Structure 1
Amino acid sequence: MNFKNTGYIWAAALLITSSTFAQVKKSKTPARKPAATAAKPTAIANAISAVLPVDPYVTIGKLPNGLTYYIRPNGQPAKKAQLVLVSKAGSVIETDAQRGMANFIQYMAFKGTRDFSQSEMNAYLSKLGGRYGADTSAFASYDETVYQLTVPADSGKALSTGLNLLANWASHINFDENAVNTTKALLGAKAAAGGQTAEDRLMEQTLPVLLNNSQYAKRAPLGAAAAINTFTAASLKNFYTDWYRPDMIAVIVVGDINPKQVEEMIKFSFSTLRNPTPAKPQPQFNVAPVAGTVVKFATDKDFPYTLFQMLIKHPPAITKTKADLLRAVRINLFNQILNTRITDLTKIPIRPITYGQASYADFMGNQDAFSALAVVNAAQGLEGAVKAIVGETEQARRFGFTLTELEKAKQSAIAQITNVYSAKANKPSANYTNEYDRHFITRQGIPGIDYEYNTYIDNIGKITLAEMNALAAKIITDQNRVLIVEAPESQKANLPTEQTLLKWVSDAGVGLKEYVDDNSIPLMSKLPEPGKAESIKVDSILQVTNLTLSNGMKVILKPTKFTPNQVLVSGFAFGGTSLASDADFVSANLAASVISNSGVAGYTQTQLVKKLRDKGVSVSPYIGDVTQGISGYTTADNFDDAMQLIHLYFTSPRKDADVWKAYVNQAQTALTQGANEPGVVYQDTIVAVLNGYAPRFMPMTAAKLNAASLDKAYNFYKARFADAGNFTFTLTGDFNTDAVIPYLETYLGSLPGTNSKETFKNLGIHPPTGQVTKTVYKGASTRATVQLVYSGKYDYSEANNLQMDALEEVLNIRLADSLKDASILSPSIRVNYAKNPEGNYKVTIAFLTDVANTDKAVEYILTEISKLKQTGPTEGEIKMFILRQARNIQGQYKQNTFWQASLSTAAQNQQDPGKILYRIQQLDQATPQSVKAALNKYLGSNLIKLILLPEKN
């Protein structure tokens, strides 16, 4: 796997190769001639073991110098091409003295090359319209270093220039001494500081165990400060010469291209590259297996919860033959079934875990691994979580799966594959480049979606329960197993001993019984009396139909063919928690979460999840500050179930005391633990300050929890959903308008409408005005966390929103790169604006920096903003904003999510939905002058500084 983030909490790929399987209806498969005679067993075995064919749409070639290239035409996105350079120079091949060198060279690549000075490179990359740099468009991992560009494909010059830049990165990086020293200071400091987050620091503790002290365990891509500080231009150039060589490099080009033309360009740009003589053999490393079970406890002061993970490592299985492909089909089904069981543990009233997953997939260090992971429900304790998740895996190992589970998994997989296959013409080029990267590094097969589909559809029905149960027994073992517990430092004294943890794992298998899968009860025993669609208006320009039902409910329908079988559903009405008193706010705020986890009518939440798990239906209620509503999605095939569920959330929500108790217990435990967690205290402070210390936004207390009740929460929920006539629903996706109207009349039109005309209250909650600084001293991090927030009143309009979007882009362009040179890490600029309950905006600049650099970093940013307000943005920056926005909007017009959000937002803010079509034409209203005015208007005197520093000694 591309271990880009070097993390190890991972989920298995949904389907069996990185390209994923796909399927269409059986009737649409190409006709096949019947075999003249039955195949002999030997012939079948040979076919199964045969190497997979290569996707006929990809051209794979090798230059005389050994460089490999992959070329594939693809129209998504249109007039664009993805260019990728892959080098096998990953961190695992570094010597002790070279630790961090692969990552270092990745940074040096953006400091200048033979044909591109740093300023020329920056100018070229800026014109491409994306965000390019060592942190954003390149990465170094254990087994590879990768560089990525997206260039215009309708210009031969743009393609050739992009390929020339890749060739420069492959063989002509400058290694200027000053640039080396600047980079050394930056990366050396990063490595010396260690992990910047609690997750990073925990990983440093656990990786030696997971990787069995192998070469992989000693070669984290970030490197070691002691080694980095000794790097010189000469030593870096030696590593570069040894390992950045054509026989260890691949060039990948996928996009709206002419393959023959691109092939000639690759030959022109890369044929002159030469391998060193003599060439060093590329070293190979593996992770030795461990007999039995290894246990590791890891704690960190800033980690917010307790986590348990069981990993069982296996030799890698690279999909190269049809037999491998069929094994991967079974693994996909295994992952679906077991992960569904684990997820169910988070849905029961007294849940032992708050999050869980289980899957088998490729891991790191040339290993595969089965992982079962759980975030502990603190109210129930670690022991309960361990026994619950290990019990589920042991139940699968011992008893296997049920036939109904297997058949549901098959149907679910087929549905998923159908969607992917049907949308294969819209598959992004980046997906293909990832596949070819994997093929180059691991030799993973790339037979193409058509071959995968045919193999899948012809064989999934033949998979037996016995095969699946045998697979479970093989995957889930007690050998080469690692048990990991991660927890806050404050909980260290409460963690069990290794012997106790092992006993919990052993006891998890005591008294297990076979799994029962029963969901035969219908959602609704009797259908409601339908309402009527009293008004139907068609907007032929937007291709939208607007209904008014007899109960007063409005429905907006936008049929599309963007994603086959997908329907997005959402509905809103005004009110929300603004209608709750401060005294009852906690009850009101918990209401939707508790109800959505309690089930509906005769179904508990556990039963509901089981019934709907394989139908592609997810619908849940919410209650926000000023609105309440329903949101979710469904497949077109199961639209009826989704509509029934919406009806029941209005009319028959369940009141489950156990669920309420579980929420309250969890909140009480979080209160105790959160008092010592820097991130929690900091976030509580941010919420309180930005909401003007309004009582309902102050940190939770035991007294507030004790005052809350299930009755108050349930009654508040019922009141918010009492008048369906206040609601507006939006449906977007693969449906026929005439066909769905009867469903809407039956399930939505039958809901009670009381003509209450309920709306929200403006509670006058907003950030304080003027200059405010709030510093939180908590934890022991060497990094300071800072947010600078500008805020104020806002006149919400299309014109103003455009200027705010441009302001955000200009701040990112102007500040993001320059901040890094000021020892400011992870900069993030966000602009938020809203109309309700009153027009308001926030501009948030967030970043990390060394504690000693905090004041200097804040002053640097404010100075840069002051300069920008005086000079305004450049023409080039505004052109870049317009270019990026235009490209984004063009792509969004073909996405269900865009239309769903845009139509719903327009309805909620009483905007003309027709303007959705003219967003690109309106972009030229952003000018250097208009954005300069916006900068001076919105980055004014209302500034809140929110700072998290370590505790004072």
Structure 2
Amino acid sequence: MKKSVHVVLPLALMGIIVLLFFLLYPPIAKSGRGNDNVVVSWPSYNSDLQPDPSLTRGALDNGLRYVIKQNSEPEQRVAAYLVVLAGSMHESENQQGVAHFLEHMMFNGSTHYPPGTLIDYFQSIGMDFGGDTNAYTGFDQTVYHVILPSGDEKELEIGCNVLADFARGALLLDSEIDRERGVIFSEKRDRDSAEYRNYVSYSDFAFKGTRYPLRWPIGKEEVLNKADHKLMKSFYDSWYRPDKMVVVLVGDLDISIAQQVIEEKFGHLRAGSVPQLEPDFGKIDRRGLDVFYNYDPELGTTNVSIETIWDVLPEVPTKALKKKELIQIIGDLIVGYRLEKKRENESPPFAIAHYSSGIIEKRIGYGSLSATTDGSSWKETLASLHSVLERARLYGFTESEVKRAKNEISGELKENVQTKSSRHSRSIAESIVDDLTVDDVYLSPDQEQKLYAPMLAEITADNVNASFRTIWNHSGRLVAVTGNTRLSGNAKDEILTFYKKEEKATVTNGTSVQDIIFPYLKAYDGPTAVVERRQFPELQMTRYTLANGLVINCKKTSFEDNKVHVSANFGRGELEESKAGMALVADDVINLSGTSSLSPSALDTVLAGSSVDLSFHIGEQASSLSGTMLSGDFEFGVQLLQALLLDPGCKEYAYKAVMQRFELMYTKLQGDMDGAILMQVQPFLAGNSRYYGLPGWDEIRQLSFGDVKSWVERVFTLKDLEISVVGDFDETVVISILSKYFGGQHFEAAPVRGRNDAPTFPVGQILKVAVSSEIEKSTVLIAWPTDDFWDIGRTRRLSIVASILEDQIRKTIREKMGASYSPKVLSYVSRVSPHFGYILAELNVEKGKETEIIDEVKKLVRDLRTKGLTQEELERAKKPLLTSVLENVKTNEYWLYSVLSLSVSYPEQLIWPTSIVDDISGVQLQELTSYITQYLDNTESAVAIITSGKS
């Protein structure tokens, strides 16, 4: 059981963790030696925990370790990872940024793959660069992965050959370093934002005294400018050592063959220099109460937090430690419950609040309560957070709250066990990698349940209260106010004075328990005959139409054991929107309202311990309630579906919370390049149709609660209902249960879903948007008009065209020019507007070079039209797509959302799966060339340029 499943990191810490990955700690005591006199270590050596017995672990004579696990989901594919236990923390003062730069260079020339050939080779065997092949650099680790299209010996040799080249075969040519330097600066520019700068400032303050804020992976500009072969080789030889590497292979493979391949490809590797000492992490330079304040109007919102941070020493993973962590998780969950109830009962001054506690990479302990608010409500927010914290610290948690949290954890453990055979190889590999990088012991779902179930039975409220108080009894406390709150004079003194005043305020215990009855709607006990049972043998699915008009689509699969996916569709979704933005607001209001009879917190209490997870969404063509559950929870899931559909909630406190969040979001988007895309570029590409892009805040703020409530009532009249069920179930039972809970209603035929009017594409037009910011950068977007979704052959081929253009742009704009870090090209085809679609290229570029890049992209398009494609280019575009398709058609999500849902309105969806593989495989060079000629016409294109910087 991973803590990350249950809690959300505090906003101040979350950004650092998400953006910059993870801090690790120096290795614990080790045992075992290979023939090269290299220490061999596994976390379980010093632990009373034993790893998942299905893992095959080993070590080569050079000290390189490996983990292999056979797993057949998805069939044939293998997730192959190389973990290097070194990152930016290991850089010397004059190497800052080299670890990350080095990660990039692995794809730019190695022993077996000359510069410019590796990505082409990946594509030729069906692997997608970025999705199937990628890497990241953290503070204490660098991780590479390749997702192989097959687990046979040849493919394993290919994958391990690539990873072995990363390990010790990088060429690091100065010519390639110079070329990649522009890409590094482009990435640095892409990642630069008000949020990033705030995280840096916060970490400099909060973690002062440690190495943490001194080694940001992106590095220093002066180092990046001078980085050369010698500098990179020095880091490469010092830290890319076999004894600091782990190879992880998870997938549809033969373990003995995998071991042989690992020995063959990695056994000869040797370190390039003598071992280096692990850097000293340092200690936090803070005691007592302190304040951090950072004013930055570009953040658009204000984050207020109360945090405690302290030094800890690495601990060996043991059963006792796991119990300690489990108790802490329960406390985290309960504070989350209380924050949810606060929203329901008090209309708090903040829009979003989070609580979490734990240890950052076993070196920094923390507890954090944080919230997002507007620029004028920091005092009210700080006071509210303090009351939540002190109420928990002084009065503790109740046994009923602890029981709810224990039920939630037990339900997750049960679900993990029952679905263990359906776990994705990549997900398993990533979990193994995560545990390896923090010296934890990887446990199977069965082991986790066996370990945690007895612990849960023993844990009491007293245990949880003691744990919570221990966290908040540390002397170091940090109050932070960051964002668009502007304070005059000595801001830190003002915040400190206010907080000390709040510390003296009386806090009362407001704990109350609500009696909950569920299910509270009656089941139908009358006859509900099946008037039509239509089978689709080629799809192995059945459609039932009941006498009351209810349509049920069923497809039994073996993709996920003991799991069912459900989607109930009705109405016309955004198509029946009464005012601009109504669907956007109503969607969130409904999801935050529970049912008419039960609040969200009461509903969550009912759900604790079950596997049922349903959410509401107003889509382009219909509204839906969709989600998953274990097969054994199907009736309970349908009871919840019944309550949400027949007794929907639309609460005023939810409306207030949603409007508060939207106001903060719009404030942020006004000074944001993403906001410019959503609110200006997307409408521009659709002829300023109100149905495309994000409505303006002036339109959203005019939607009253009465407006939303009236519209929601119309949406939930439920004139039609189509329920699709995919997964592991008994079809007779499914029909019986759905008849039982929906047989009492009458449903009509599905409505017509679509618009008659098509947006007007802005042929030949240029949109220029200026965003006021301290950060200088630009985004260019070039679009070419295409057509709508419903000619599926055309839609598939347009996707291939977009893939080919993206590859051309990557090679020229990124690799040759170094002018853009991650250029993207997509094909958008509308499902609701006739003949509307476009291919869109988006590139983040250096300010001042917009015209140059636009001209270069258009030149690539002209060359594609005049010179055409080669068969090799076509195959390199098709093969990764085919690999993805072959994997996708073996998922429940594909069959539920792409095939069954809304198939009454769109019967062609039931034909598409039968042709998809043969159709893509059969795409010919001549026909694709004709698509390029027809649709990639620069004279028909439109351009948008967004520039960010000081006005």
Which of the numbers 144, 152, 156 marks the counterpart of 2:153? 156
Per the alignment, residue 890 of structure 1 pairs with 886
Q: For the structure 1 residues 228 and 663, does the alpha-carbon distance in structure 2 shift closer, same or farther, using more than 3 Å as the test?
A: closer
Q: Compute the displacement of 1:151 (Å).
A: 3.1
Q: For the structure 1 residues 448 and 190, does the alpha-carbon distance in structure 2 shift closer, same or farther, using more than 3 Å as the test?
A: closer
Q: For the structure 1 residues 647 and 326, does the alpha-carbon distance in structure 2 shift closer, same or farther, using more than 3 Å as the test?
A: closer
The residue type equivalent to 1:215 in the other structure is R
Distance 1:327 1:48 in 2: 21
Is the CA contact (8 Å cut-off) linking 2:70 and 2:251 kept in structure 1? yes
The residue type equivalent to 2:767 in the other structure is K
Aligned length: 914
Aligned-partner SS, 1:778: strand
Q: Compute the displacement of 1:511 (Å).
A: 2.2
Distance 1:166 1:418 in 2: 36
Q: Compute the displacement of 1:90 (Å).
A: 1.3
Q: Compute the displacement of 1:783 (Å).
A: 0.9
Per the alignment, residue 37 of structure 2 pairs with none
Per the alignment, residue 350 of structure 2 pairs with 353
Is the CA contact (8 Å cut-off) linking 2:639 and 2:741 kept in structure 1? yes
Q: For the structure 1 residues 836 and 97, does the alpha-carbon distance in structure 2 shift closer, same or farther, using more than 3 Å as the test?
A: same
Distance 2:699 2:120 in 1: 56
Q: Supply the RMSD in Å over aligned alpha carbons.
A: 3.8
Q: For the structure 1 residues 799 and 290, does the alpha-carbon distance in structure 2 shift closer, same or farther, using more than 3 Å as the test?
A: same
Aligned-partner SS, 1:631: strand
Per the alignment, residue 717 of structure 2 pairs with 722
Distance 1:590 1:194 in 2: 30
Matched, 1:774 2:767: yes
Is the CA contact (8 Å cut-off) linking 2:184 and 2:821 kept in structure 1? no
The residue type equivalent to 1:949 in the other structure is T
Per the alignment, residue 411 of structure 1 pairs with 407
Is the CA contact (8 Å cut-off) linking 1:395 and 1:515 kept in structure 2? no
Per the alignment, residue 597 of structure 1 pairs with 592
Matches within 5 A, 1:346-745: 346=343, 350-364=347-361, 366-376=363-373, 378=374, 381-477=377-473, 479-488=475-484, 491=486, 497-500=492-495, 503-504=498-499, 507=502, 510-524=506-520, 526-527=522-523, 530=526, 532-539=528-535, 540-580=537-577, 584-585=579-580, 590-654=585-649, 656-661=651-656, 663-664=658-659, 675=670, 679-694=674-689, 704=699, 708-724=703-719, 726-745=720-739
Distance 1:858 1:626 in 2: 35
Distance 2:568 2:190 in 1: 46
Listed one character per residue, the Cα deviations across residues 746-792 of structure 1 (whole Å, up to 9, x for unaligned) are: 43232344x58754573625143411211111222211122223334
Q: For the structure 1 residues 238 and 947, does the alpha-carbon distance in structure 2 shift closer, same or farther, using more than 3 Å as the test?
A: same
The residue type equivalent to 1:9 in the other structure is M
Is the CA contact (8 Å cut-off) linking 2:348 and 2:384 kept in structure 1? no
List alignment gaps of at least 5 residues for structure 2. Answer: 24-43
Which of the numbers 938, 944, 947 marks the counterpart of 1:946? 944
Q: For the structure 1 residues 658 and 57, does the alpha-carbon distance in structure 2 shift closer, same or farther, using more than 3 Å as the test?
A: closer
Per the alignment, residue 90 of structure 2 pairs with 93
Q: Compute the displacement of 1:221 (Å).
A: 1.0
Q: Compute the displacement of 1:673 (Å).
A: 6.6
Q: For the structure 1 residues 430 and 230, does the alpha-carbon distance in structure 2 shift closer, same or farther, using more than 3 Å as the test?
A: same
Q: For the structure 1 residues 256 and 232, does the alpha-carbon distance in structure 2 shift closer, same or farther, using more than 3 Å as the test?
A: same
Distance 1:592 1:374 in 2: 22
Is the CA contact (8 Å cut-off) linking 1:60 and 1:69 kept in structure 2? yes
Listed one character per residue, the Cα deviations across residues 490-541 of structure 1 (whole Å, up to 9, x for unaligned) are: 8566996454267348737732315323242345254456562432415244
Distance 2:48 2:705 in 1: 61
Which of the numbers 304, 310, 315 marks the counterpart of 1:308? 304
- With structure 2 as the length reference, what TM-score do the two structures score? 0.86
> Mean alpha-carbon deviation: is it higher for 771-780 or for 382-391?
382-391
Q: For the structure 1 residues 813 and 493, does the alpha-carbon distance in structure 2 shift closer, same or farther, using more than 3 Å as the test?
A: farther
Per the alignment, residue 211 of structure 1 pairs with 207
Q: Compute the displacement of 1:891 (Å).
A: 2.6
> Mean alpha-carbon deviation: is it higher for 868-877 or for 496-505?
496-505
Matched, 1:117 2:118: no
Distance 1:439 1:655 in 2: 43
Q: Compute the displacement of 1:165 (Å).
A: 3.0
Listed one character per residue, the Cα deviations across residues 558-591 of structure 1 (whole Å, up to 9, x for unaligned) are: 344544554333233343444455xx44556644
Q: Compute the displacement of 1:59 (Å).
A: 3.2
The residue type equivalent to 1:602 in the other structure is S
Which of the numbers 7, 14, 17 marks the counterpart of 1:9? 14
Aligned-partner SS, 1:460: helix
Per the alignment, residue 781 of structure 2 pairs with 787
Matches within 5 A, 1:818-857: 818-821=812-815, 822=817, 823-857=819-853
Distance 2:950 2:376 in 1: 34
Matches within 5 A, 1:188-207: 195-207=191-203
Aligned-partner SS, 2:381: helix
Distance 1:705 1:79 in 2: 49
The residue type equivalent to 1:776 in the other structure is V
Is the CA contact (8 Å cut-off) linking 2:802 and 2:826 kept in structure 1? yes
The residue type equivalent to 1:484 in the other structure is A
Per the alignment, residue 859 of structure 1 pairs with 855
Distance 1:697 1:446 in 2: 46
The residue type equivalent to 1:802 in the other structure is R
The residue type equivalent to 1:688 in the other structure is P
> Mean alpha-carbon deviation: is it higher for 827-836 or for 879-888?
879-888
Which of the numbers 101, 105, 109 marks the counterpart of 1:108? 105
Q: Compute the displacement of 1:173 (Å).
A: 1.9
Aligned-partner SS, 2:106: helix
Is the CA contact (8 Å cut-off) linking 1:871 and 1:932 kept in structure 2? no
> Mean alpha-carbon deviation: is it higher for 227-236 or for 850-859?
227-236
Distance 1:275 1:341 in 2: 53
Distance 2:137 2:668 in 1: 36
Is the CA contact (8 Å cut-off) linking 1:318 and 1:442 kept in structure 2? no
Q: Compute the displacement of 1:220 (Å).
A: 0.7
Is the CA contact (8 Å cut-off) linking 2:580 and 2:700 kept in structure 1? no
Q: Compute the displacement of 1:241 (Å).
A: 1.8
